[in-house]
Structure 1
Amino acid sequence: MSTSPASIEHILDTLSDQPVTFKKMFGEYALYLNGIVVAFVCDDTLFIKPTPSALAILPEAPRGPAYPGSKDYIIGAEALDDPDLCIRALRAVASDAPAPKPKKPKSPKPL
């Protein structure tokens, strides 16, 4: 089962005053905050990355795998009921993320 576009629209509407974007991946979605992956949406459920700061903000939130074989993520369904809390958790994930690696310049294609 994959995530419906309506679920993504609901999440983006809930967090509309934040720079949250998404990319579709394998029928599911990755959520980005300022270009950093902070969560996934799988089977219409928000899964927030379990960084130390996010766990401190949402210590009682349920956890579970986003997809078969994945590590446990914070299930963000209840956090979405409080958009300020949800965005605090997403910002915490972004602040815990390592700096992005510089991208290699693309080599020109041979003619």
Structure 2
Amino acid sequence: MEQLQQLRRYLSVGHHIPGRLRLRCRNPIVFQMIKREENQLNELLAQHPSIESYRLNLTTQSILITYDAEILPFELVEQLFCDDFDTVLNTGQSLLQRSLAAQ
């Protein structure tokens, strides 16, 4: 999560429907770094059981993430890129634990 917090300031939500999120990178240099370190991005996203896939788009400098909206609530994903990170992280961990426990 620390890595996500560091990247978060360079990303904005381009499009979001439940289960599908497009993040736009505000800085072309940062996007190139993400592309170069794609293995680390892979590891970061693989840690979360709700992430189904992702794709980097060099033309639009965006990341398309598909996720299981039943595990990761739409509202939490919205908050993750709009609200204070620490608040979202604490709330998100609590919601995630409850949703995984319910399965």
TM-score by length of 1: 0.30
Structure with more of its chain in helix, by fraction: 2
Q: Which structure is richer in relative contact order (CA contacts within 8 A, separation 6 or more)?
A: 2
TM-score by length of 2: 0.31
